[in-house]
């Protein structure tokens, strides 16, 4: 590995998934892991296997598939490292090993808090006890796996001298990567850079291991702190797509990567990321977690390359470099118009989907193709973004227990908004209901509620246009909370936004029902006992 190479460690599936309500199904996690592999991340933190049997199974599946063979389209030749998180306990470490050991390149990541406030109030352990526990557990993990990462949790608020001591001890016990988390997003870039520099200088053995940064965004400084740490000598950055994560989130992968790339002359570092996939992966993660990407989000926001003011537009026409430090194409933000129309064949459609990273087969391909034909009839131009939306709908991993058959609404300035809905139940039987609401979507949701009879509260409703133009596909995301207090999300896309809204709502109810029928226990993120203490 070249000395200027920064390993990108993606923790969207672990820290990212800890964002409230962002939990993904195992199949959604696998889909995201596949996309991360093609993006070229070096390490995928696939989950926290001790949290629940579901989390363990998801990590195992990712290890068995994504952690095996390099696939076409991956920038690197070797598969990504698959990592599982574990507290410093034997059962956690055993579970993490069970999760990742099927991967070609497995890693166990274990952590223990080192700040005085955490040791005193949370762990109730002395410094000596923390050192002893960290050493014991790193040695145990190393007896199972050759690649061990250790994190002194809340390092940003830990006494540096104590950190040097803990880190020296865990290196001797077998740690190969030392990850330095600013767990509560407290530090300033100069402080965090100095912390990393101090660790490299003062920790015996630090030269023989990889130093990593893991910064939270409570003060909006996660990316700045990560870059400061890298410039001070760290060579791994722990990041998430769209910056999702605990509270205010983690450093955003796309921002760290594009800063390194756009300012390479100043920063002097490189990564193995194929930046042209950033927008696509961002959309996938947003969709899988139902966390919308703000329009002004750097790199992947819908307006990240939009120039509104006349002065800016004039400059852009004269020379794009006047207002553009990177191009939309650099990050995959261009709208490619598919040269397929309503007369195109299924083979060409299927080929384009595969090129976009959304291969479909069998019935899913037939269904997506039929939707594409309908769309091509209604829309002037079908863009790649439309195709990705159609394909994602077909690749949805939540079983379609209830399905929308027909929907008719009456609304406007002079009538009571009324919706008549016909749904197909899991046994194939049709059910109809008509309801009045405050608007057409509310009426449709009331009719759906009356038929499906799953008590949920609507927490969030968001609507997005997939592409530009009045004929664009509308994509609706909803998040609902079931009476068991767990939240579920759903998506629906259609050129008719009331239909898209109904589809999204039904998808979220299917999510609730499939979870119930799978008999899943309490989610780890809602269980303070089973989860890393700092995360609750």
Q: Which does 520 bind (CB under 5 to 8 A by kind): ligand KIV, Zn ion, none?
A: none
- Closer of 183 and 464 to ligand KIV (Cβ): 183
Shortest Å distance, C-beta 50 to Zn ion: 16
Q: Which does 105 bind (CB under 5 to 8 A by kind): ligand KIV, Zn ion, none?
A: none
Query: Residue 58 in contact with residue 30, Cβ under 8 Å?
Result: yes
Part in contact with Zn ion (CB under 5 A); list of ranges 8-16, 27-35, 48-56, 460-468: 8-16
Shortest Å distance, C-beta 203 to ligand KIV: 18
- Closer of 15 and 65 to Zn ion (Cβ): 15
State the DSSP code for 118: I
Q: Which does 151 bind (CB under 5 to 8 A by kind): Zn ion, ligand KIV, none?
A: ligand KIV
- Closer of 118 and 479 to ligand KIV (Cβ): 118
Which structure tokens are listed for 371?
A: 């939707």
Shortest Å distance, C-beta 28 to Zn ion: 21
Q: What are the φ and ψ backbone dihedral angles of 128, each rounded to 5 degrees? A: -60, -40
- Residue 121, exposed/middle/buried by CB under 10 A (0-12, 13-18, 19+)? exposed
Of these, 8, 9, 10, 15, which contacts Zn ion (CB under 5 A)? 15
Shortest Å distance, C-beta 168 to ligand KIV: 19
Shortest Å distance, C-beta 356 to ligand KIV: 32
- Closer of 105 and 214 to ligand KIV (Cβ): 214
Shortest Å distance, C-beta 183 to Zn ion: 6
- Which residue sits closest to Zn ion, CB atoms considered? 15
Part in contact with Zn ion (CB under 5 A); list of ranges 14-22, 307-315, 345-353, 395-403: 14-22
- Closer of 123 and 472 to ligand KIV (Cβ): 123
Q: Which does 111 bind (CB under 5 to 8 A by kind): Zn ion, ligand KIV, none?
A: ligand KIV
Q: Rounding to the nearest 10 degrees, give the CA dihedral for residues 111, 115, 118, 121.
A: 140
- Contacts with ligand KIV, residue ranges (CB under 6 A): 15, 111, 151, 153, 179, 181, 183, 214, 216, 532, 534
The terminus-to-terminus CA distance of the chain in angstroms comes to: 37
Q: What contacts 323, CB < 8 A, 6 or more positions away?
A: 307, 312, 315, 316
Q: Which does 92 bind (CB under 5 to 8 A by kind): ligand KIV, Zn ion, none?
A: none
- Closer of 67 and 245 to ligand KIV (Cβ): 245
Q: Which does 255 bind (CB under 5 to 8 A by kind): Zn ion, ligand KIV, none?
A: none
Q: What contacts 339, CB < 8 A, 6 or more positions away?
A: none
Shortest Å distance, C-beta 216 to Zn ion: 6
Give me the sheet containing 456-465, strands edge to edge: 456-465, 474-482, 487-494
Beta bridge partners of 409: 419
Query: What does the alpha-carbon distance between residue 14 and residue 36 come to, in Å, rounded to a whole number?
Result: 13
Shortest Å distance, C-beta 214 to Zn ion: 6
Task: Determine the 3-state secondary structure of 23 from DSSP.
Answer: coil
Buried b (16+ CB within 10 A) or exposed e, 449-468: bebbebebeeeeeeebebbe
Shortest Å distance, C-beta 113 to Zn ion: 12
Neighbours of 363 (CB within 10 A): 9
- Closer of 46 and 480 to ligand KIV (Cβ): 46
Query: What does the alpha-carbon distance between residue 302 and residue 281 come to, in Å, rounded to a whole number?
Result: 14
Query: What does the alpha-carbon distance between residue 436 and residue 335 come to, in Å, rounded to a whole number?
Result: 39
Query: What does the alpha-carbon distance between residue 44 and residue 37 come to, in Å, rounded to a whole number?
Result: 8
Part in contact with Zn ion (CB under 5 A); list of ranges 12-20, 169-177, 365-373, 447-455: 12-20
Query: Residue 254 in contact with residue 248, Cβ under 8 Å?
Result: no
**Interface residues toward Zn ion, by CB under 5 A:** 15
């Amino acid at each position: 590995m070249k000395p200027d190479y920064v390993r990108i460690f993606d923790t969207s599936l672990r820290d990212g998934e800890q964002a409230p309500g962002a939990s993904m199904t195992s199949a959604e996690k696998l889909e995201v892991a596949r996309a991360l592999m093609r993006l070229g991340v070096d390490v995928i933190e696939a989950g926290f296997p001790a949290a629940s049997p579901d989390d363990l199974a998801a990590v195992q599946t990712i290890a068995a598939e994504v952690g095996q063979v390099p696939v076409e389209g991956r920038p690197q030749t070797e598969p990504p490292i698959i990592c599982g998180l574990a507290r410093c306990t034997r059962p956690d470490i055993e579970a993490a090993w069970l999760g990742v050991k099927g991967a070609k390149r497995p890693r166990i990541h274990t952590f223990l808090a080192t700040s005085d406030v955490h040791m005193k109030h949370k762990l109730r352990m002395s410094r000596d006890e923390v050192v002893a526990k960290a050493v014991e557990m790193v040695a145990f993990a190393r007896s199972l796996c050759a690649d061990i990462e250790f994190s002194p949790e809340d390092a940003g608020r830990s006494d540096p001298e104590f950190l040097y001591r803990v880190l020296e001890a865990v290196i001797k016990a077998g740690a190969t990567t030392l990850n330095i988390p600013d767990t509560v997003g407290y530090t300033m870039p100069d402080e965090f850079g100095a912390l990393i520099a101090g660790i490299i200088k003062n920790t015996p053995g630090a030269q023989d291991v990889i130093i990593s940064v893991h910064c939270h965004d409570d003060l909006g400084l996660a990316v700045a702190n990560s870059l400061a740490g890298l410039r001070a000598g760290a060579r791994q950055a722990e990041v998430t797509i769209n910056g999702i994560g605990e509270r205010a989130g983690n450093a955003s992968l796309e921002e760290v990567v594009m800063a390194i790339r756009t300012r390479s002359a100043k920063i002097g570092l490189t990564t193995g990321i194929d930046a042209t996939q950033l927008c696509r992966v961002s959309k996938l993660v947003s969709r899988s977690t139902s966390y919308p990407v703000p329009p002004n989000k750097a790199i992947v926001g819908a307006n990240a390359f939009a120039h509104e003011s006349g002065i800016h537009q004039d400059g852009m026409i004269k020379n794009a470099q006047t207002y553009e430090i990177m191009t939309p194409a650099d990050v995959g933000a261009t709208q490619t118009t598919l040269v397929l129309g309503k007369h195109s064949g299924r083979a060409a459609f299927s080929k384009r989907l595969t090129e976009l990273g959304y291969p479909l087969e069998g019935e899913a391909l037939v269904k997506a193709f039929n939707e594409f034909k309908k769309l091509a009839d209604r829309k002037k131009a079908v863009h790649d973004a439309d195709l990705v939306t159609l394909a994602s709908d077909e690749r949805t991993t939540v079983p379609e227990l209830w399905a929308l058959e027909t929907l008719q609404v009456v609304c406007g300035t002079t009538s009571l908004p009324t919706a008549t809905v016909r749904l197909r139940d899991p046994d194939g039987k049709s059910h109809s209901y008509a309801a009045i609401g405050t608007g057409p979507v509310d009426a449709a949701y009331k009719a759906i509620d009356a038929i499906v009879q799953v008590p949920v509260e609507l927490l969030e409703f968001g609507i997005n246009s997939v592409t530009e133009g009045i004929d664009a596909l509308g994509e609706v995301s909803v998040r609902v909370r079931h009476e068991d207090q767990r939240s579920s999300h759903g998506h629906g896309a259609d050129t008719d936004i009331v239909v898209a809204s109904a589809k999204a709502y039904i998808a979220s109810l299917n999510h609730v029902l499939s979870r119930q029928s799978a008999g899943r226990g309490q989610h780890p993120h809602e269980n303070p006992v089973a989860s890393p203490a700092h995360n609750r």
